[in-house]
Structure 1
């Protein structure tokens, strides 16, 4: 019996000892995968192969991000479902009607589609709303203003994503021109979801969230600058 008790208490001690390495390891994986992706798209000579890995990179980023979410509850599950659905359906409306964003269509690089929109787009909306919402909460501002900051951060990232997306077959715009309506539509949908983020009743302290946004921003700025 004493031996069994000792083993039982040793396991939590070991978990606590190695838990401190979880964050730097996750951050390292995040940075390495994006650096490899950048090298693959720009320098490998096989950009098509690395384009096909985009869904895996997005899934990995989300897995790392939400592994650091704490105190999962029904409010968070509802938030995640609503943001995924609103983001995805807004893209469906955009692709089929030209409303919200403008006239565009998705390529093959983002994986399986439903109603001509990649399923991962909903997950991308969730990741960005969640990450930028956490960043905006660092500012000591009224919650509606923090929602504006979060939406602005999303539009800033989208500004650098758009030319890269056209270059690597994520999506394409009619006439190869990104209309102003895209950024207005992005800001509008993002603002609604940021307002929801601010009022949703779940724990909002994720250490990795700001780094996910920063790594994505630097990744797309670098690709943008080298187009």
Structure 2
């Protein structure tokens, strides 16, 4: 696997931290994976708590990695854009039905902000980070990278929405076309996710591209992105018995995840 090394001025000061601090994103990523492995083994209230905890751990893993490898202002810009857009569209969606369709949240995921669980904008943020980095590794260009990043982020919702609706964390009142095999979610939602993700990635890709330190690399976001992909396919195919979800998500997210995995494996940029 090749590692991009940033050797510009003040690289160490921008990243800061010693060995223990650099290990923090890896620790948080490992805890995220363990929490997701435990999720299908739990039920009811315990599963609700674990859902929220998993989002927080994933977010902290992404945030700590962004902070340590790209600096405070980069990480702040990423958070403001991703969580801000995520919260904004969710508030708009629950109040107007645009752009996702008519839906509402239950109150089982912790504190609410304007009728939206606080973990929801964190979920947008947590996944936007590895999606952006995957797109940047695979592509260049002011339009192609945001498009690939948008596919990487929006395709994740093909797994997420059916799982969370199945758990009763939000419900749909929207009528209209559905994707074959994903009857509970209107197709409009997935189209809207793609459009919102594209806007988000167009803005996030304005953040500077920085080569990361050889000891740090982008292993944490790569692990989180690829783990999310492969574990989501397995969860839906083998545990949740949602074959349609496994196929749709496996194909759509695989458009980015599989070339990304190959690029990491072969060391090609």
1:1-227 matches, within 5 Å, as 16=19, 25-40=27-42, 46-69=43-66, 70-174=69-173, 177-201=184-208, 203=210, 205=212, 206-225=218-237, 226-227=240-241
- TM-score under structure 2 length normalisation: 0.69
- TM-score under structure 1 length normalisation: 0.80
Report the alpha carbon displacement of residue 170 of structure 1 after superposing the two structures with TM.
Answer: 2.1
C-alpha distance in 1 between matches for 2:193 and 2:219: 26
Gap regions ≥5 residues in structure 1: 1-14, 41-45
Report the alpha carbon displacement of residue 24 of structure 1 after superposing the two structures with TM.
Answer: 5.7
Report the alpha carbon displacement of residue 208 of structure 1 after superposing the two structures with TM.
Answer: 0.9
SS of 2:104's partner is strand
Matched with 1:8 is none
Report the alpha carbon displacement of residue 194 of structure 1 after superposing the two structures with TM.
Answer: 0.5
The structure whose Rg is larger is: 1
Gap regions ≥5 residues in structure 2: 1-17, 175-182, 213-217, 242-269
Give RMSD over aligned pairs. Answer: 2.4
Matched with 2:265 is none
CA change 1:25–1:121 in 2 (3 A) is closer
SS of 2:101's partner is coil
Aligned pairs, number = 207
Report the alpha carbon displacement of residue 224 of structure 1 after superposing the two structures with TM.
Answer: 2.5
